[in-house]
Amino acid sequence: MKYLHTYSFAETTPFLLSCGKTLSNVNVAYETWGTLNTDKTNAILIFHAFTGSSHAARHYEKDNEGWWETYVGSGKAFDTDKYFIICANVLGSCYGSTGPSSLNPKTGKPYALNFPFITIRDMNSAIKNLTDHLQISRFLAVAGGSMGGMLALDWSIAYPNSTKSAIVLAASHSQPAQAIAFHQVGRQAILQDPSWKKGNYYGSEEIPRLGLSLARMIGHITYLSEKKMHEKFGRKLQDKAELSFGFDYEFQVESYLRYQGHKFVDRFDANSYLYLTRAIDYFDIRIDHGEGSLFSAFEKSKCDYLMLSYSTDWLYPPENMKQMANTLRGCGRRVVYLDIDTDNGHDSFLIDNQVMFAAVKNFLSQEIDTTENNV
Catalytic residues: 146, 313, 346
Contact yes or no for 321/309 (Cβ under 8 A): yes
User: For residues 325 and 346, what is the distance between their CA atoms, to the nearest angstrom?
Assistant: 18
CA geometry: angle at 266 spanning 186 and 47, to 5°? Answer: 70
Q: Which 3-state string (H, E, C) describes 353-367?
A: CHHHHHHHHHHHHHH
User: For residues 282 and 120, what is the distance between their CA atoms, to the nearest angstrom?
Assistant: 8
**H/E element holding 85?**
strand 84-88
DSSP per residue, 234-247 = TT-BSS-SS---SS
Query: For 117, how many CA atoms within 13 A lie in the half-sphere containing its CB?
Result: 10
Query: For 85, how many CA atoms within 13 A lie in the half-sphere containing its CB?
Result: 30
What residues does 5 pair with on adjacent strands? 30
At 92, which amino acid appears? G
Contact yes or no for 89/48 (Cβ under 8 A): yes
First to last CA, the chain: 33
* Residue 305: DSSP 8-state: E
User: For residues 360 and 340, what is the distance between their CA atoms, to the nearest angstrom?
Assistant: 13
209-223 vs 177-191: helix crossing angle, rounded to 10:
160
